[in-house]
Structure 1
Amino acid sequence: MIWIKMKKTYSIRSVILTLMISEVFVAIIVTGFLWYSNGKSAVDTLSRNLSAEIELRIEERIIAVLDSAKLHASNQANVFAKKLITIGSNDQKDLTLGYQKGVLDQYPQITTLFTCSPQGELFGLQRSKSGGYLELESEAGKPGLREILPDGKAIFIDDFNATERPWYKESMAKQRAGWTPVYHFPGVPQLGMTSYEVIEGQNGVELISGCDLTLGPLNQFLSELNTSEHSEIVLLDDEGALVASSALDSFTEVKATENEGVSYKRVLGVNSQAPIIRQAVDHLTRLHGGAPSRWADKGTVEMDSEDGGIYISWLTINLDEEERWVSLLAIPRSDLTMEVSQRTRYTAIAFLILILITIPLVWRTAEGITRPVMELNQGLDLISQFKITDSDMGQNFRPSRLRELNEMQSRMHSMRHALTSFEKYVPSRVVRKLVTEDKVAVPGMEEAKACIFFSDIVGFTNVAETLDPDQLVKLGGEYLEGMSQQIHQHGGILDKFIGDAIMAFWIAELDGKRVTSKACHTALLSQQSLKVLREDWLKRDLPALRARIGLHTGPVRVGNIGSSSRLNYTILGDSVNLASRLEGINKIYGTEIITSGEVQEIAGNEFHFRKLDQVAVKGRRKGGAIYELVCLSESATQHQIEIAQIHESALDEYIAGNFDVAMNTFRKLQDLDPEDKPSKLLIDRCEQLVAQPPEEWNGVISLDRNIKDNG
Structure 2
Amino acid sequence: MPAPIDQSSRIRNPSAPRKGVSFRSSLLRNLILLILLLSSATLTISYFGAQRAMRFLCKDLVVSRTERLESELRRFFEPVPLQLALIEDWVQQGLLEDFEPATLNPLLAPILAKSTHISSINAGDAEGNGQMLLRTGDTWTNRSVTPGTPARFRQGKIHGTPLKEWTESVDYDPRTRPWYQLAMSQPPGEDEVVWTEPYTFFTTREPGITASVRAHRPSAKEIVLAVDVLLKDISAMTQSLEISPKGFAFVIDHQGQLVGLPKNERFENEKVRNESYLKHPRDLGIPVMSEVFLKATAQYGLKLSEHGYPKIEQLDPAKIRPFFWKSDGRGWWSYLRPLQGKNSPHLWIGVAVPEEDFLGELRQQQKQLLTLFLLALAVGTLISLQLAKRYSKPIEDLIGQSERLTRLDTTGTEMAPSGILELAQLGDAHERMRVALDSFARYVPDDVVRELLKNGEAAVIGGKSLSISILFTDIKGFSALSEKLSPMELTHHMAEYFDAMIGIIRQHHGTVDKLIGDAIVAFWGAPTPSETHAHDAVRSAWECHLKLQELAEAWKRRGLPPLPTRFGLATGVVVVGNVGSPSRLSYTALGDSMNLASRLEGANSFYSSWILASESTVREAGEEFVWRQLDRVRVKGRNEPESIYELLGPQDSLSDAIRSRKKAYESAFTAYLARDFSTAVQILETLPEDASAVRLTGICRDYLESPPPPDWDGVFQFQSKS
Fold-level similarity (TM above 0.5)? no
Shorter-chain TM range is: 0.3 to 0.5
Return the index of the structure with the highest Cα Rg. Answer: 1
Under a length normalisation based on structure 2, what TM-score does the superposition of the two structures give?
0.37
